[in-house]
Amino acid sequence: MEIKKYNECKTVIVLKAISGKWKPYIIYLLYHQDRRYIDIWREIPRISKKILSENLNELETFGLVSKETFNEAPPRVIYSLTDKGKSLATIFRLVEEWSEVHL
């Protein structure tokens, strides 16, 4: 395997996109159902609204989550996984299998 600079390593980029305390859980929730912001916030105990917003924005920046805003009062926002985000299911299943064997 060729050694690359840290910031060029594709694995590091992927891990940055999905790592953190809350991102895997957000991805898990959205894999099963599109959700409103408030519903995601209610599903994740102890997450602040600020941190949830930051995590959703980061996931959206990496193209894993899409946000649809409806022109209503108050505005309704629905988050869903993109096809790229849904394709992470295989990785998460492999990590789960690995953890069952090694943890």
Please give the domain boundaries of the chain with CATH numbers for all domains.
6-102 (1.10.10.10)
Answer for the pair 9, 3: CB distance below 8 angstroms, yes or no: no
Strand partners, 81: 65
Q: How far apart are CA 101 and CA 92, in angstroms?
A: 14
Residue 14: predicted pLDDT: 87
Q: How far apart are CA 73 and CA 12, in angstroms?
A: 41
Q: Report pTM.
A: 0.84
Q: How confident is the model at residue 13 (pLDDT cuts 50, 70, 90)?
A: confident
Q: How far apart are CA 21 and CA 18, in angstroms?
A: 10
Q: How confident is the model at residue 47 (pLDDT cuts 50, 70, 90)?
A: very high
